[in-house]
Amino acid sequence: MRDINIGVILWLLLCLSVNSYSQMVPMENRDAFLKMLEKNTGSVKSIESNFEQVKHIDIFNDDVTSKGTFYYQSPDKIAMNYANPVKYSMIINGDQLKTVSNGKISTISLSNNKMMKELQTMISACMTGDISALAKGYKVGYFEDENGYFVTLEPESAAIKSYITGFRIYFDKKSVLVERLRIDEGAEDYTEYKFSGQKVNTAINGEIFK
């Protein structure tokens, strides 16, 4: 069970380049930003996107890069299909989490697992921009640059902090879609994701989430 939990947490750790943070300034009109997010949340029913994942562990010399396809369908269906360097899938459908690796399938229930349920809420909120769903239990910071909006979230729960020390979410300024996300694990370790080729509200084959 612990191995699955750690795998899901690593999967949800998302991306933003550290160097770009220095260009951010405090957001001038937070209320206008939140209104745009609220409007966007109501309109997003599904997202299909390519992703690139970079896993950084400070004690190792090289980062590990993976690529695949991300699927989201409101309100609670998520799938990430890794294509390289190895084929691997993680699927959340309602309160069920399934992983598929080398033909081996593992399934757990999220209904009695507060940590996994929290992470499900996190990724759903990130992909729809529903920051209001995350405000409870987090210290939230709002920043921006000329191209996008940047939101930081620091968990207040000691249980979550034992795995995750912070979330960083970067929204494109024109589309208000999540472009890059990252969750930090301690002082130096993190996993980053960058999303590209996003398709919003397209028909997604339901078989992907089975």
* CB < 8 Å & 24+ apart, contacts of 2-9: 4/97, 4/99, 4/106, 4/108, 5/113, 5/115, 5/116, 6/163, 7/90, 7/99, 8/90, 8/97, 8/116, 8/119, 9/119, 9/163, 9/164
* Average pLDDT of the residues in 85-109: 91
pLDDT tens readout for residues 8-59: 444 444 333 334 454 789 998 998 998 888 887 778 889 999 999 999 888 8
Residue 136, number of CB atoms within 10 A of its CB:
7
**What are the residues facing 108 on neighbouring strands?**
97
Architecture of domain 2-209: Clam (2.50)
What integer pLDDT is reported at residue 143 of this predicted model?
96
Q: How far apart are CA 154 and CA 131, in angstroms?
A: 13
What integer pLDDT is reported at residue 20 of this predicted model?
46
pLDDT tens readout for residues 46-92: 999 999 999 988 888 888 999 999 999 988 899 999 999 999 999 99
* Average pLDDT of the residues in 175-187: 85
pLDDT over 50 (residue 206):
yes
Domain residue limits, the chain: 2-209
Q: How far apart are CA 134 and CA 181, in angstroms?
A: 14
Q: How far apart are CA 188 and CA 164, in angstroms?
A: 12
